[in-house]
């Protein structure tokens, strides 16, 4: 492990900006006594904690049919995370009726590859399962997969287009989904109708599964809550994280109920949701967001911080808490999220233009470039 003292930089600590040096020893923030690295002109901030990112899909499955080399894909994913200042990243893997790289078989393959490799990464790579609620027959298999691979985070999704299915109409984009799943459009449609018909079973079945997972220490959330009632229902089942609530009412109910609120950083960068949902920036301004996640684009957390500051929604320390301390708190990761003695040396080094010049995760260099690299090398 490195034993270093980072000096000369502007350091974002919990109490605000400081020019005091940062010591690193044994993978944690320590007394400044190691080899000095002059980072004058740079800023040092807590590492980004990304609670939900599915951008790894392009690495583990670059095109349809090329689904074999998950190991190389995970290595490439870590490199991308590190280059964007992410020191803890949750890979949001679907367990979905969509099939292909989002189907159960591929989910198990990715989880197994991740479990075999997790100790080999500098970045703290973790797994989140995104379970489609109506796949009730898969619940035992999901519970077994979570236990076998020690997966610590699961969210409940429902992406079925119930309105169209209730009318007996084919959902939008169904033919493309069928091709990805390896089914004929007719077979895929029948499967979706069957899943839709099981709606009345979902509340009780998901409550039983949630209780079992929670008892095993798994953190639970729900994805895309569309109403206050939906948030109340999922809270009642033990899912205390509202991931990407679609409406202000759902976010307000989450806050009133003491639940964590995670929004998508791309929503902030775009200025709105790509699906027309509530604006993340507006929720942040009103104190209705605890964490920003990369969603489908790993550069988005840093870009969202920059945009929030430019909009005047909050200053940089407050914006940075949404990508570091906030998400760490929601996951109970009290060993990171701040630059503080005894915590993990998870650090992001930004250059004068606000770009990532270096990333350290647990005191190990995961990314380094340009002038910052020259200063480390000496």
DSSP 274-306: TTS---HHHHHHTT--SEEE-BT-TTHHHHHHH
Q: Answer yes or no: do 33 and 74 share one domain.
A: no
Question: Secondary structure of the chain: what % helix, strand, coil (to 5)?
Answer: 40, 25, 35
Q: Answer yes or no: do 352 and 364 share one domain.
A: yes
Q: Which residues contact 309 (CB under 8 A, 6 or more apart)?
A: 315, 316, 319
Q: Answer yes or no: do 58 and 186 share one domain.
A: yes
From 71, 73, 80, select the one nearest 57 (Cα to Cα): 73
Q: Answer yes or no: do 357 and 239 share one domain.
A: no
Mind listing the pLDDT tens digit of every residue in the chain (378 residues)? 679 999 999 999 999 999 999 999 999 999 998 899 999 999 999 999 999 999 999 888 766 655 567 889 999 999 999 999 999 999 999 999 988 889 999 999 999 999 999 989 999 999 999 999 999 999 999 999 999 999 999 999 999 999 999 999 998 888 888 887 788 989 999 999 999 999 999 999 999 999 999 999 999 999 999 999 999 999 999 999 999 999 999 999 999 999 999 999 999 999 866 667 889 999 999 999 999 999 999 999 999 999 999 999 999 999 999 999 999 999 999 999 999 999 999 999 999 999 999 999 999 999 999 999 999 998
For residue range 18-61, list pLDDT tens digits in order.
999 999 999 999 999 889 999 999 999 999 999 999 999 988 87
Name the residue range of residue 367's domain: 1-47+337-378
Enumerate long-range contacts of 305-308, CB under 8 Å, 24 or more apart. Answer: 306/354, 307/268, 307/269, 307/281, 308/268, 308/281, 308/284
Please tell me the distance from the alpha carbon of residue 17 to that of residue 43, in angstroms, as a whole number.
9
Q: Answer yes or no: do 360 and 272 share one domain.
A: no
Q: Residue ranges of the alpha helices (H) in the chain?
A: 57-60, 70-83, 104-117, 139-149, 162-166, 174-181, 185-197, 202-215, 228-236, 248-256, 265-270, 280-285, 300-311, 316-321, 325-330, 370-377
CATH of the domain at 231: 3.20.20.140
| Side-chain half-sphere CA neighbours of 86 within 13 A | 33
Helix (H) or strand (E) holding 30: strand 28-30
Q: Answer yes or no: do 156 and 83 share one domain.
A: yes
Q: Answer yes or no: do 156 and 81 share one domain.
A: yes
Q: Answer yes or no: do 246 and 362 share one domain.
A: no
Count the neighbouring beta carbons within 10 Å of the beta carbon of residue 167.
Answer: 7
Q: How many domains does the chain have?
A: 2
Q: Answer yes or no: do 55 and 10 share one domain.
A: no
- On the 0-12 / 13-18 / 19+ scale of CB atoms within 10 A, 36 is middle
Q: Answer yes or no: do 181 and 303 share one domain.
A: yes
CA distances from 16 to 66, 136, 229, 236 (A): 47, 48, 39, 38
Helices and strands in the chain, H and E counts = 16, 18
User: Mutual orientation of helices 185-197 and 174-181 as an angle, nearest 10°?
Assistant: 100
CATH of the domain at 364: 2.30.40.10
Q: Answer yes or no: do 62 and 32 share one domain.
A: no
Q: Answer yes or no: do 269 and 329 share one domain.
A: yes
């Amino acid at each position: 492990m490195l034993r270093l003292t980072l000096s000369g930089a502007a350091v974002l600590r919990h109490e605000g900006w400081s020019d005091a040096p940062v010591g690193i020893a044994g993978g944690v923030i320590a007394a400044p006594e190691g080899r000095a690295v002059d980072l004058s002109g740079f800023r040092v901030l807590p590492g980004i904690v990304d609670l939900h990112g599915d951008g790894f899909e392009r690495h583990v499955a670059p095109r349809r049919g090329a689904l074999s080399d998950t190991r190389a894909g995970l290595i490439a994913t870590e490199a991308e995370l590190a280059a964007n200042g992410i020191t803890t990243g949750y890979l949001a893997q679907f367990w979905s009726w969509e099939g292909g790289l989002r189907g159960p078989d591929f989910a198990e393959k990715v989880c197994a590859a991740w479990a075999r490799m997790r100790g080999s990464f500098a970045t703290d790579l973790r797994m989140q399962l995104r379970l489609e609620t109506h796949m009730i027959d898969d619940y035992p298999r999901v519970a077994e997969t979570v236990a076998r691979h020690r997966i610590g985070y699961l969210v409940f999704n429902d992406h079925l287009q119930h309105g169209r299915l209730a009318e007996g109409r084919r959902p939008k984009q169904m033919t493309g989904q069928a091709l990805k799943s390896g089914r004929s459009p007719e077979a895929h449609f029948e499967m979706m109708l069957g899943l839709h018909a099981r709606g009345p079973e979902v509340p009780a079945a998901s409550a039983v599964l949630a209780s079992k997972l929670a008892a095993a220490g798994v953190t639970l959330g729900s994805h895309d809550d569309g109403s206050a009632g939906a948030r109340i229902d999922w809270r009642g089942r033990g899912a205390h994280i509202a991931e990407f609530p679609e409406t202000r009412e759902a976010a307000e109910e989450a806050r009133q109920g003491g639940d964590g609120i995670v929004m998508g950083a791309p929503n902030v960068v775009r200025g709105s949701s790509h699906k027309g949902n509530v604006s993340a920036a507006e929720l942040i301004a009103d104190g209705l967001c605890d964490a920003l996640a990369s969603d489908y684009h790993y550069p988005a957390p840093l870009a969202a911080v920059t945009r929030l500051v430019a909009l005047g929604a909050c200053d940089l320390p407050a914006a940075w808490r949404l990508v570091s301390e906030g998400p760490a708190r929601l996951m109970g990761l009290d060993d990171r999220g701040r630059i503080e003695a005894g915590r993990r040396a998870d650090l992001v080094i930004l250059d004068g233009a606000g770009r990532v010049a270096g990333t350290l995760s647990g005191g190990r260099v995961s990314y380094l470039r340009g002038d910052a690299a020259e200063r480390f090398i000496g």
